[in-house]
Amino acid sequence: DIVMIQSPDSLAVSLGERATINCKSSQSVLYSSNNRDYLAWYQQKPGQPPKLLIYWASTRESGVPDRFSGSGSGTDFTLTISSLQAEDVAVYYCQQYYSTPYTFGQGTKLEIK
């Protein structure tokens, strides 16, 4: 199984400031034949299902604010929120869909400082 490790486990950022969450996979999730990274980011608010934010490591899902961006390739990935808003308080998960069993990171809890 591909193990996904996120850092940090929790993060407190001031409103309007940048938030950065990292995700590392135990093996590459880059498929060389199409040069795509099979890595997604999700946001989960209390009492709600996860919501897809980013797929192919850097493609924003329709309707997701442009303050959310994804970067990285191979085994190291980053989710950046450029200017934190109050509604961004949530747990964020990375997930690989390169190979089964699909696996998620342990989650990063983002709070307001």
- Which residues partner with 98 through β-bridges? none
The three-class DSSP label of residue 87 is helix
- Is 50 a binder of another protein (CB under 8 A)? yes
Site for another protein, residues 55 to 84, rule: CB under 8 A: 55, 61
51 binds another protein (CB under 8 A): yes
Burial 58-94 (b: 16+ CB within 10 A, else e): bebeeebeeebbbebeebebbbebeebeeebebbbbb
In the bound state with another protein, the residue whose beta carbon lies nearer, of 80 and 99, is 99
Q: Between 51 and 67, name the residue whose CB sits nearer to another protein.
A: 51
Contact status: 38 vs another protein (CB under 8 A): yes
Q: Where does this chain bind another protein (CB under 8 A)?
A: 38, 40, 42, 48-52, 55, 61, 93, 95, 97, 100-107
